[in-house]
Structure 1
Amino acid sequence: MPPPEDKGSTALRTVLIVAAIAGVVTVVAGLLIVLKSPDEYGLAANRDALNLQAQPNGKASGQPEQALFQAAPDVPPPLPQINPAPPMMPSTPVRIVIKRLGINAPVESVGLAKDGTIEVPPVTNPNLVGWYRNMSTPGEAGPAVMLGHKDTRTRSAVFSRLFEIKNGDTIEVKRQDKTTAVFTVGGVEQASKKTFPTQRVYGPQENAQLHLITCGGTYDHSIGHYVDNIIVYATMTSSYRS
């Protein structure tokens, strides 16, 4: 004769079965939410949006990492350990070449947008670099400022590898007067857009300097922008006739 059924055991089994069913329902519901919004969770196969990613640290395979320049916003820009060349007369830039990064791009002048910020090149031309025409021309005394996109919604752009540049690398800017100004990199900075080093980038300088700016850091999907800027500081160290 079988032993009488334990009512406590029956109740416990019932609770466990109900809990298991509830767990399965929760998992299924979660999967349905993710599948309905693949972009939000980074699962879309062909995302028409910028990837959420951390700014690479500049460490290339087999090469030591270069420390980023860090200083208070009012500290002067870093200079290469080499004598600067005498400044040249003004001349509009037409092309920028950074051989080590594979950059060879046209340059067009940009001004100020309606909100008072510097205009950026149109995203429809991702290989275009903008030169801020209200500052010095490259090779002229003072800072020449150029901007380029890191990427667009569908592809990488002209300054996508700018974070890889190293101290001592050279940047060539071809000018309308048929001269080429050669700049030597003295430092690379990653700065929050909330504490942009305005004085260091745009402040007056005796020597001919070139400051390149692009986006960096993480991409904030909620605002549609990267949170940092990558800024390259370079000083003119020579020039030649094109």
Structure 2
Amino acid sequence: MTTPPPGQYPPGQPVPPYGAPVHPQPVYGQPVFHAAPVVYPQAYQEPEPPPQPQGGGASAMRGVLILAAVAGVITVIIGVFFILGSPDEYAPPARQTLKIKGAEGLVPSVGPGGTGQPLTQAVATAPPPAPTLPPAAAMQPSSPRRLIVPRLGINAPIKSVGTDKSGAIETPPISNHNLVGWYRGGPTAGEPGPAVMLGHKDTTTRSAVFTRLHEIQYGDTIEVVRMDGTVAVFTVGGVEQANKQTFPTDRVYGSRENAELRLITCGGSYNRNTGHYVDNVIVYATMTSTRLASD
């Protein structure tokens, strides 16, 4: 449902490469749970130019042409590999979320969300939006098992994800469209702080678990079934659509006293030149109650 290379996802989950050549941005912003800064390498690099021949002659020129041909084949293979590995970023969007205002028109706070209102990005200093309901007391750590969002018809299993060897946040496997990834480098849902969950917007063949995430709105409930048999019930405080190049890192990943939840996916328009959606849709929610799981 990825310091970073030019362009951000947080400043703006780890974005796989798209196209050839592409210089992707992290998909879900840079987590701040690591002691050392996370590095987001380029997902795709131009192959280095072949060495220049030391002397003239037909044989030297032939060698250059052969090396160039081999480099071209390798580039094509790498491009195909990355496309198959991250089809949600390459595929044309099944639907587009509403565009945000330009950077010069950022609003002072995160909006309530919902289909009747345009999604906007707030200024960097705006706090995470919170519902009027009082927060519930935080619980002990317990890994999340399922995510349930009644308004959107989501009932999805959760898989923990970490960071790859390059330091970028992993995304949930694209082979399962109904799968949510929980970033295990941060709190579990119900602990103090923001639990971060990621989901794909779509795949090459169909919509995915968070395709309707932009429709959620203030006051909606989100349930996280935990391994200890409890259910953490979160209430949505607001929804933001943020440009990946100005991702609100602190608002998403920053330390919080209450148990909070962030749901993140891609959004906005699809840039065919870079192979990316240009924005992220971010849902902010606070835990307002708990109960025992029924199963």
Measured against the shorter chain, the TM-score band is 0.7 to 0.9
- Code of the residue aligned with 1:85 in structure 2: it is A
Partner of 1:150: 201
Distance 1:73 1:149, change over 3 A: same
- Code of the residue aligned with 1:99 in structure 2: it is P
- Code of the residue aligned with 2:133 in structure 1: it is I
Question: Any idea what the Cα deviations from partners look like across 1:107-162, whole Å, max 9, x if unmatched?
Answer: 01001123332110011111110000010000010000000000011110000000
2:120 and 2:242 in contact (8 A); partners too: no
Q: TM-score, normalised by structure 1?
A: 0.75
Matches within 5 A, 1:85-234: 85-234=136-285
- Code of the residue aligned with 2:127 in structure 1: it is P
Residue identity (%): 62
Partner of 1:50: 92
2:122 and 2:240 in contact (8 A); partners too: no
Question: Any idea what the Cα deviations from partners look like across 1:27-49, whole Å, max 9, x if unmatched?
Answer: xxxxxxxxxxxxxxxxxxxxx93
1:53 and 1:219 in contact (8 A); partners too: no
1:86 and 1:207 in contact (8 A); partners too: yes
Partner of 1:76: 127
* Structure with the larger strand share: 1
Question: Any idea what the Cα deviations from partners look like across 1:41-94, whole Å, max 9, x if unmatched?
Answer: xxxxxxx9323864247765xxxx235354222432011111000100100001
- Code of the residue aligned with 2:245 in structure 1: it is K
Matches within 5 A, 1:56-71: 56=98, 60=115, 65-66=116-117, 68=119, 70-71=121-122
2:237 and 2:285 in contact (8 A); partners too: yes
Structure 1 or 2, whichever has the larger Rg, is 1
Structure 1 stretch displaced more, 129-138 or 215-224: 215-224
1:119 and 1:189 map into 2 onto residues whose CA distance is 22
Q: What is the total number of aligned residue pairs between the two structures?
A: 191
1:69 and 1:187 in contact (8 A); partners too: no
Provide the alpha-carbon RMSD of the alignment. Answer: 1.8
SS in 2 for 1:194: helix
Q: TM-score, normalised by structure 2?
A: 0.62
2:264 and 2:281 in contact (8 A); partners too: yes
1:52 and 1:219 in contact (8 A); partners too: no
Partner of 2:73: none
Distance 1:112 1:95, change over 3 A: same
- Code of the residue aligned with 1:182 in structure 2: it is V
Unaligned runs of 5+ in 2: 1-89, 100-112
Distance 1:167 1:181, change over 3 A: same
Unaligned runs of 5+ in 1: 1-47
- Code of the residue aligned with 2:142 in structure 1: it is S
CA-CA distance at 1:223 after TM superposition:
1.6
Distance 1:106 1:59, change over 3 A: closer
Distance 1:181 1:224, change over 3 A: same
